[in-house]
Structure 1
Amino acid sequence: MEWTLSSINPLTISLLAGLLLLVLVLRPKKSGKTPPGPKGIPIFGNLLQLGDLPHETMHKWRQTYGPVLWLKLGSVNTMVINNAASAAELFKKHDLPFADRKVPDVLTAYDFNQGTLGMNQFGGHWRVLRRLCSMEFLVNKRMNETTDLRHRIRDNMERWILEESASSKALGSSGAVQLSRFLFLMAFNLVGNLMLSRDLLDAKDPESRQFFDCMNKVLELAGTPNIADYLPWLKWMDPAGMKRNMKRNLKVTMRIASNFIQERLNNRKAGKFQEKKDFLDVLLEYKGDGKDGPDTMTEKNINIVITEMFFAGSETTSISIEWGFAELLRSPHTFKKLREELDRVVGVNRRVEEKDVENMPYLQAVVKETLRLHPALPLLLPRNTMEDTNYMGYQIPKGTQVFVNAWAIGRDPDSWKDPLEFRPERFLESNVEYKGQHFDLIPFGSGRRICVGFPLAHRVVHLAIATLVQSFDWDLGPGVKPEDIDREERLGLTLRKKNPLFVIPKKRLNV
């Protein structure tokens, strides 16, 4: 969505005009030197200059203003990091003062942000959630214990793709399927099993369908620009009605999640425990030490964590797979090289498994190259400065919003040769990883607020891309050439393909 004056409610414009003089009189004076940036307009600042793909606009502004950019988005001071050196300076020397979050107004509905891992303020509750995820749930031991589960969910995805294509052909169509749909459903059910030990995509269960639909609406609302985020004095009005819509959908998801929790509690009281512990068990059994964070997890907090895991795990994982596979189809010689590696390492008499990935350097390079060009969160999640900070000679005031433009960093010619080309070979003789230590490649962020789910995403993205290449032959449809697959983007909460990938599958393996 692009910011324009015509997209803003007329009543809001009138109110803004009335407040202009007050803003000009009361706005604080700058103290110290801030980074350079484009001149804005009264009230809106640079907001209307960003366009519908702000990460691209910010990247272009680097040519004029340098790698550290200063913007005024409404009344919100904003700093943008556009290259690896500036990112390294932030994460290595200033990670703590920039460890807080700038929270969109819609995510304050039902105090949602106060219970999440991704958007929570830096403090005791956040540390507890981080510790539970990284040490109790997403550690290698527990990831290894759920390998068979991911294989089963992957097999279901294969079956859904073939069934959908067959249904399409039976109706006289080409048999093309929208791949992103099945990738999202695979990721959604995977999160459902890891969190709650159940498939949540079940057409026979209306409540599961309702949970899925409301989660999609939550994702949409979280990624839609909201004027109240940039002109905070409008929050009480909720001029676009976004917070009201978010409350409606969160109410449904949290009610359904509460039912899952109560069902588990009743089973535990009756002596029925999970054969393998899932994340709901981890949350229910948590006991604090009284030193940092809560002593127990309330039902509301558990509700929020479960909801967050669904939209964080499903959306980002599925779009990374779609982008990677689209790039492979655009580059037939790359697709061929990956298939040859699969046939050499795995063969054609069994499906690829997670354990095979460590023996497939080209597959690993394909995933790295995908995440370099197409980070799911192009600006990562916005940080918030907790105190006045001297950063690279600039005075950054407390309360400044900070964007790290991972999209721009991945396309920086100072870091990458031929940065716009999809060329996995660049990683075959490189030790660059995306675990937060190499600042040329930070699709999951770095420092204290690095995405805690990247070990799971690492496994799922590799497995899914390898499966799509190994298990199927693909037809793009009559008259469609590989170069016709576009790279156009659509920004919401994440960076999706603007035009979803439609492809015709043909089963390749007989296993």
Structure 2
Amino acid sequence: MELIDLFILCWAIVFLRLWWKYWSVTGGGPKNLPPGPPGWPIVGNLFQVILQRRHFIYIVRDLRAKYGPIFTMQMGQRTLVIVTSPELIHEALVQRGPAFASRPADSPLRLVFSVGKCAINSAEYGPLWRTLRRNFVTELINPVRIKQCSWIRKWALENHMERLEKESVQNGFVEVMANCRLTICSILVCLCFGARISEERVKNIELILKEVMLMTTPKLPDFFPVLAPLFRRQMKEAKALRKKQMECLVPLIRSRRAFVKENQNPNSEMVSPVGAAYVDSLFEMKPPTRGPLGEQEFVTLCSEVISAGTDTSATTAEWALLHLILNQDIQEKLYSEIVGCVGTGVVKEEDVEKMPYLAAVVKETFRRHPPSHFLLSHAATEETKLAGYTIPSGVNVEFYTAWVTEDPDLWEDPGEFRPERFLEGDGVEVDITGTRGVKMVPFGAGRRICPAWSLGTLHVNLLLARMVHAFKWLPVPGSPTDPTETFAFTVVMKNPLRAVMVPRTTSSSCAH
């Protein structure tokens, strides 16, 4: 080898070494990002995560132990700052809420379903988001509207109980999750469109919206937007699913508009008075920066309500019932409280407010099984600081909140399901909205907290109270319950819960 060739080879090695070192550093440096694991050139930590073949939360737990409560991951073109400590979560979301209240950029595929981020969950922090959220709170979850629409829950729960009894007689057991999803979805469809429709149509809506949620889970183009044009097949599938979603919901929207504008109701499916359905408030809305909304936006906003409300509430009800089956003492204590409140009558909405043990069971379920291990991605509205590190605007700020509910420094025996902790113990003063401090935040916290958290909690309380009041719940003989988790849109049971129902008799009710 000649001297010049040796010189070129040496320079190539030095260049490659410097190039690798530049691209592989995550965090630190002149950008002053939180520290993080070294990555590969160009792709950062993305392929390292993929090759581990473990769910992302387990990787995050390992990195938390190594890098501390705040660290950086470079996932392709996306920079993720992951926050895991209760103090930093509270500082970012509550104490400095406006600074971290925005959302990062969406992939082209997600924008198909959000119509350019015209949704409460995905809109960037600003006038559009404020208008959409204010309208939602005013029109759907204010106390007067909740009371006005109580008949919808009464109707859906009566159907729920009848369906459970029929399924139990036919099969000897019931599928808990499927029944809870159908009931809550029926409620939310009626709240959104003012329509009472068949269970088959509700199931179809539920199925399509589930497909939408799975379609919009993170995929490679989310981390490499520059490669999005190469994923034409995925984009084609997304547009086809969007068309299917529109074809499913637009007829309801048009029927409702005809009912509101011209009092037309040919098939009598419109049952809520004018002004009582969520979509009624959207017909004349003209948000800043967008102008009048159309059917695309109506479908997106109503789908958002139905999807988010159905999954979180049904999942929580299933996990709660699992623990009541595993611990019959807790179930009997809850049953005694319900009977002490309503006797042999029907549980009403005002009754569940008088049941502290029921509230404790639901809170403990939220603690042990938060709907998601992460909050929806946040973004800083402008470059800011957190824990002494720089957080640029636009990066994904991910709040890993499940760890907080498992922290032995915050909770005594955190792995144990013990509702009593919320009556006397480490959960008595806990604020589930995170306003006073973060020990559990199942609905998020601060400006972007789920606006319907109180409505979702009411649905879970009513479902549990009605089901436990009417039936004793037991495992299926020869088929032990399985508490293994898996990850869909929410954290669900890997094997959906099947349970045996034994009717509570009048005499046993009186005895309690």
Q: Same fold (TM over 0.5)?
A: yes
The match for 1:357 is 352
Larger Rg: 2
1:299 CA displacement:
2.6
Contact 2:27 2:36 in 1 (8 A): no
Contact residue 387 and residue 397 of structure 1 kept, 8 A: yes
SS in structure 2 of the partner of residue 503 of structure 1: strand
Amino acid at match of 1:198: A
RMSD over aligned Cα, in angstroms? Answer: 2.6
Q: Secondary structure at the match of 1:115?
A: coil
Letter in 2 for 1:298: G
The equivalent residue for 1:434 is 432
Aligned-partner Cα distance in 1 for 2:114–2:297: 10
Q: Provide the residue aligned with 1:229 in structure 2.
A: 222
- Is 1:214 aligned with 2:208? yes
Q: Residue type matched to 2:354 in 1?
A: N
Report the Cα distance in structure 1 between the residues aligned to 2:114 and 2:352, rounded to whole angstroms: 41
- 1:333 positional shift: 1.9
SS of the residue aligned with 1:485? Answer: coil
Query: What is the letter of the counterpart of residue 486 of structure 1?
Result: D
Instruction: Evaluate the alpha carbon distance shift between residue 29 and residue 38 of structure 1 in structure 2; reply closer, same or farther with a 3 A threshold.
Output: closer
* Structure 2 unpaired stretches of 5+: 1-18, 266-271
Query: Aligned partner of 1:155: which letter?
Result: E
Match of 2:152 in 1: 149
Q: Tell me if structure 2 keeps the 8 A contact 1:106–1:246.
A: yes
| Alpha-carbon spacing, 1:471–1:192, altered in 2? closer, same or farther (3 Å) | same
* Distance apart, 1:52 and its partner CA: 4.1
Mapped pair 1:180 → 2:177: yes
Alignment of 1:17-416 (within 5 A): 24=23, 30-47=29-46, 48-49=48-49, 51-102=53-104, 103-109=106-112, 111-168=114-171, 175-203=172-200, 210-223=204-217, 225-238=218-231, 241-272=233-264, 274-275=272-273, 277-286=276-285, 292-347=288-343, 349-416=344-411
1:30-56 CA-to-partner distances (Å, cap 9, x unmatched) read: 533222333333444333437543224
Any stretches of 5+ residues in structure 1 without a counterpart? 1-19, 169-174
Question: In the alignment, is the contact (CA less than 8 A) between 1:201 and 1:212 conserved in 2?
Answer: no
Structure 1 range deviating more: 357-366 or 434-443: 434-443
- Secondary structure of the residue aligned to 1:79 is strand
Tell me if structure 1 keeps the 8 A contact 2:335–2:468: yes
Contact conserved, 2:470 with 2:503, CA < 8 A, in 1?
A: yes
Distance 1:334 1:57 in 2: 34
Assess, with a 3 A threshold, how the Cα gap between structure 1 residues 407 and 201 changes in structure 2: closer, same or farther. Answer: farther
User: 2:365 & 2:27 partners in 1: Cα distance?
Assistant: 43
One-letter identity of the residue aligned with 2:469: Q
Percent identical: 28
What TM-score, normalized to structure 1?
A: 0.86
Rounded Cα–Cα distance in structure 2 between residues aligned with 1:339 and 1:111: 43
Q: How many residues align?
A: 473
The 3 A distance-change label for structure 1 pair 28 and 416 is closer
The separation in 2 between residues aligned to 1:124 and 1:44, in whole angstroms, is 35
Code of the residue aligned with 1:126 in structure 2: it is W
Q: Distance in 1 between matches of 2:354 and 2:261?
A: 46
Pairwise CA distance, 1:398: 2.2
Indicate how the Cα distance of structure 1 residues 24 and 149 shifts in structure 2: closer, same or farther if over 3 A, else same. Answer: same
What is the distance in 2 between the residues matched to 1:220 and 1:70?
A: 26
Say which is worse superposed, 371-380 or 484-493, in terms of deviation: 484-493
Q: Give the secondary structure class of the aligned counterpart of 1:114.
A: coil
Letter in 1 for 2:363: K
Q: CA deviation at 1:426?
A: 1.1
4+ residue runs of structure 1 moved beyond 4 angstroms? 27-30, 292-295
Aligned-residue offset at 1:231: 1.7
Taking structure 2 as the reference length, the TM-score comes to: 0.86
Deviations 1:430-472 (A, max 9, x none): 1213123131111111111111111210110111122222111
Distance in 2 (CA, whole Å) between partners of 1:346 and 1:37 is: 55
